[in-house]
Structures are given as structure tokens and as C-alpha cells.
Structure 1
């Protein structure tokens, strides 16, 4: 059976935000350094897609993610992942683990900081397992 079609919602140097037909945002990060304003636009559009569709789930492909800078981590925690900015009480996030060890450590640190920000997440090394976990969420 063919894979369901993904629709591009937003694209910039940070990566692509796709609409998955199963009802979640699929965000794919590009490798390499980022500019903060590009990351802010990328995550803001991700939040807007979730709000527009009434979705509460996302699959983050961070396998090629370069480590977040301290400034990026702070912005993520302070702005994008707060319930007030997202307009949603809970987001379920399935995160594909980055290949680069330092990026994985950076991501783990950032995720540890946002537990109180109403994000329920789980790390995966398999896209199929991540998708299965999301299918089980409301």
C-alpha cells in the first residue's frame, strides 16, 4: 500500500513542516547551523499548523539536527512550548533521535526543561514506532 501523501505547510533553512494525513505535524530538521529568526519562524509555523487544524500531535525528525544553542533552547522553553503561546493544553511529540551525539544531548537537555510546559514526548529511533505511538494518542 502506498504511503499517504504529505503536504508541505512551511519550508525554510531550518527544515520543513509537513501536514500528515493521519492528523499531525511532521517536522523535518535540516543539518547545519541555524539563525535564531529562522528557527523561530519554523517553530511558530509549526504551532500555527497545529492550531489551524486543531491537532495536538507532532512527529519531529531530528536525526540530522545540529545542537541547539543556549539562546535557541531558551527561546523554545520560554516561547513556543508554553501553553499560552500554543493555545493548547497538551501536545504529544514523537521525536526521532538525532544522529549526532551532541545534538542528542542538547535535545535531551531542552526536553528536560520543557516537561512543565505541557509537552508529552517520547524519543524514538524508528519512524514506524514513532508513528504507532502517535496513533495511540487522542
Structure 2
């Protein structure tokens, strides 16, 4: 029996958020420069989708992403990620690493700045490996 296709949950100029039939969200960043309100909207919808579905895992596709700005990084570290973890149940992030080295460094800083949270990020070069890992940590 064929598996149901993924479903688009939200899209704006910053990225797309998909609901995957395997029970996780897929957050795809677009290569565009980001506007802060659009960035916050995408991540706010991501947290809401976690709660709506009672899911805890996200595949974060950063391959085409431009580096986080200091303002974006500060908001993610101090507000969004703690709230996503504590209020929306976010537990595992499988990150497809950015092609841009500066973007990779920004993600490393985010991980280091939030390591006190009960949340795990793993980075992957290949999508298949990321999906296998998410399946292994599925609740």
C-alpha cells in the first residue's frame, strides 16, 4: 500500500513546513535573505504544529540556508527553542547541514547555547540517514 504524501503545513518567504506521514515535521529553509517577522512566523508555526500533532521530532533542512543573524540567533536561543521544548514537546532535531560554512557555524553556536535543554540535535550530510535516526527516536 503506498504511503500518504507529505502535507504542506505552512510556507512563507523564509521556508516551508511539511507534515511527514512518518510522524515528524520537515522544516526547509529557503536560500533567500530573511525578514525577522517572517522568520519568527515560520518557527512559531513549527512549534504550533508540534503541539497540534503531538509530535516531538523535526527534520531541519538547512542546506540552502543563509547564516542566522545575531538577532535571529538570540531569539531562537532565549525564546523560541526553550518554549518549543518545554511547551510544545520538541525533543529531536535532525539537521541537514548547510552548504554555507558560516551557516554551519551559526547552528553550532545555537546548539552550544541551548545544551541545557532536554533536546537533542544531530547533524547529517545525507537525508536518508537523518530520516533513519528520526525513526529510531520516535516516541
CA contact (8 A) 1:56 1:92 kept: yes
CA contact (8 A) 2:57 2:92 kept: yes
C-alpha distance after superposition, 1:36-87 (max 9, x if no partner): 1111000000000000000000000000110000100000011111147751
Corresponding residue for 1:23?
23
Relative to the length of structure 2, the TM-score reads 0.92
Secondary structure at the residue paired with 1:31? Answer: coil
In the TM superposition, residue 121 of structure 1 has moved relative to its aligned partner by 0.8
| Aligned-partner Cα distance in 1 for 2:13–2:5 | 22
Corresponding residue for 2:12?
12
Corresponding residue for 1:32?
32
Task: Name stretches of at least 5 consecutive residues in structure 2 with no aligned partner.
Answer: none
| Aligned-partner Cα distance in 1 for 2:88–2:46 | 13
User: Does 1:130 pair with 2:130?
Assistant: yes
Deviates more, 1:3-12 or 1:120-129: 3-12
Task: Name stretches of at least 5 consecutive residues in structure 1 with no aligned partner.
Answer: none
| Aligned-partner Cα distance in 2 for 1:85–1:123 | 18
Corresponding residue for 1:52?
52
Q: Residue 83 and residue 4 in structure 1: after superposition, are their counterparts in 2 closer, same or farther (change >3 A)?
A: same
* Aligned counterparts, 1:55-134, within 5 A: 55-83=55-83, 86-134=86-134
Deviates more, 1:77-86 or 1:116-125: 77-86
Relative to the length of structure 1, the TM-score reads 0.92
CA RMSD of aligned residues (A): 1.8
Secondary structure at the residue paired with 1:82? Answer: helix
C-alpha distance after superposition, 1:70-105 (max 9, x if no partner): 100000011111147751455100000000111111
Runs of 4+ more than 3 Å apart? 1-4, 83-86
